[in-house]
């Protein structure tokens, strides 16, 4: 079943066309990754897909009542707004204490409920954002460069958490990334972006596509295998509790 379908989608940001004639879709339970260099329009496309940006032309169709668990690139918390994690998780919908505890646990940060948002470390912050997305009971998780500011092991642990969560919830995942070797192997489909969709397919296909090579070179090839996702093993990873 199609969750989100984009047809001939063209998007503008600040008066400039950033994405041109995108045709894409995400099905139930699928993992789709958007890759592309900085400024290639990845985040713009995500904004178009969630409806935060009105298309210049073309259209986006979302399944009726689609629940989107959105984990943004970064949230700027400047300390003007006092906000404990527990309260943050109740925006915009309030949840019971049990549900909140469960979501924090699933996201790997069980003890942070009473911490102020601005006191969280980068890794904790992303996990709290994940917990909020989980509370929505999402049909699809959308992660926009969710590991920005995390180091390599931190990012890898975060993506393993996502894979865990997904195998429990069975939701679709749309990821945006430029750290390809961490992400690509777990994806069902990869779309390589540079102002338009350059190429798409399974990770192996995209990896070997000349368009992808032209954008990224072949330097990261060796690293693909390292984080290739494996469904059969247990996950023993440590979290960054401060």
Partner 1 sequence: MTTTIITTMTMLDDFLVRAGLAGVGTALAAAPLGCFVVWRRMAYFGDATAHAALLGVALSLAFQGPIILGVLATALIMAFLVMGLSGRGLAEDTLLGVLAHAALAFGLVSVSFLSGVRVDLMGYLFGDILAVSKTDLAIIWTGAAVVIGLMLWRWQRLLTTTLNPDLAQASGISARVEQLVLTVALALTVAVAIKAVGALLIGALLVIPPAAARPLARTPEAMAILTACVGVLSTLGGLGLAFELDTPTGPTIVCTATGLFVVGAVFGRFGRTG
User: Does position 59 bind partner 1 by CB under 8 A?
Assistant: no
User: Does position 72 bind partner 1 by CB under 8 A?
Assistant: yes
Length of the chain: 242
Tell how strand 189-193 and strand 197-201 pair up. antiparallel
Single residue of 35, 70, 173, 200 touching partner 1 by CB under 8 A: 70
Single residue of 1, 16, 64, 80 touching partner 1 by CB under 8 A: 80
Single residue of 64, 92, 236, 238 touching partner 1 by CB under 8 A: 92
Single residue of 18, 31, 68, 192 touching partner 1 by CB under 8 A: 68
Minimum distance between the CB of residue 85 and partner 1, rounded to whole angstroms? 11
Question: What x/- string results for residues 11 through 50 when contact with partner 1 is judged by CB under 8 A?
Answer: ---x--------------------------------x--x
Interacting stretch for partner 1, rule CB under 8 A, among 86-94, 156-164, 188-196, 224-232? 86-94
Question: Quick check: 191 and 184 in contact, CB under 8 A?
Answer: no
Contacts with partner 1 by CB under 8 A: the residue count is: 26
User: Does position 237 bind partner 1 by CB under 8 A?
Assistant: no
Here the tokens at position 161 are 């958490």
d(CA 174, CA 190): 10
User: Does position 97 bind partner 1 by CB under 8 A?
Assistant: no
Question: Quick check: 175 and 33 in contact, CB under 8 A?
Answer: yes
Looking up tokens 């997904």 gives 166
Single residue of 81, 205, 214, 226 touching partner 1 by CB under 8 A: 81
Longest dimension (CA), the chain: 51
Minimum distance between the CB of residue 14 and partner 1, rounded to whole angstroms? 7
User: Does position 94 bind partner 1 by CB under 8 A?
Assistant: yes
165 vs 199 by CB, closer to partner 1: 165
d(CA 72, CA 110): 21
Question: Quick check: 77 and 122 in contact, CB under 8 A?
Answer: no
Single residue of 20, 87, 196, 213 touching partner 1 by CB under 8 A: 87
Residue 95's CB is within 10 A of a number of other CB atoms, namely 16
Name the burial class of residue 188, with classes exposed (0-12), middle (13-18) and buried (19+) by CB atoms within 10 angstroms of its CB: middle
DSSP string, 58-98: EEEEE-TTPPEEEE-S-----SSS--BHHHHTTSSS---HH
Q: Which of residues 154-213 bind partner 1 (CB under 8 A)?
A: none
Looking up tokens 């099905």 gives 27
Binding site for partner 1 (CB under 8 A): 14, 47, 50-52, 68-70, 72, 75-76, 80-84, 87-88, 90-94, 116, 136, 142
């Amino acid at each position: 079943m199609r969750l989100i379908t984009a047809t001939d989608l063209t998007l503008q940001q600040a008066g400039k066309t950033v994405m041109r004639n995108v045709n894409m879709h995400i099905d139930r339970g699928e993992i789709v990754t958007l890759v592309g260099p900085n400024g290639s329009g990845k985040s713009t496309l995500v904004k178009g897909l969630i409806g935060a940006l009105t298309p210049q032309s073309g259209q986006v169709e979302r399944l009726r009542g689609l629940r989107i668990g959105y984990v943004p690139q970064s949230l700027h918390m400047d300390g003007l707004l006092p906000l404990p994690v527990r309260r943050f998780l109740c925006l915009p919908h309030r949840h019971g204490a049990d549900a909140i505890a469960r979501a924090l646990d699933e996201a790997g940060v069980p003890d942070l409920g009473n911490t102020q948002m601005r006191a969280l470390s980068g890794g904790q912050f992303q996990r709290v954002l994940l917990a909020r997305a989980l509370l929505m009971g999402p049909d699809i998780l959308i992660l926009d460069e969710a590991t920005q500011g995390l180091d390599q092991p931190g990012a890898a642990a975060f993506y393993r958490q996502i894979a865990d969560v997904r195998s429990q919830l069975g939701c679709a995942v749309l990821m945006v990334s430029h750290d390809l070797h961490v992400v690509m192997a777990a994806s069902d489909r990869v779309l390589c972006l540079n102002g338009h969709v350059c190429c798409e397919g399974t990770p192996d296909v995209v990896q070997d596509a000349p368009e992808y090579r032209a954008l990224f070179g072949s330097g990261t090839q060796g690293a693909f295998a390292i984080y290739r996702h494996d469904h059969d093993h247990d996950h023993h990873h440590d979290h960054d509790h401060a």
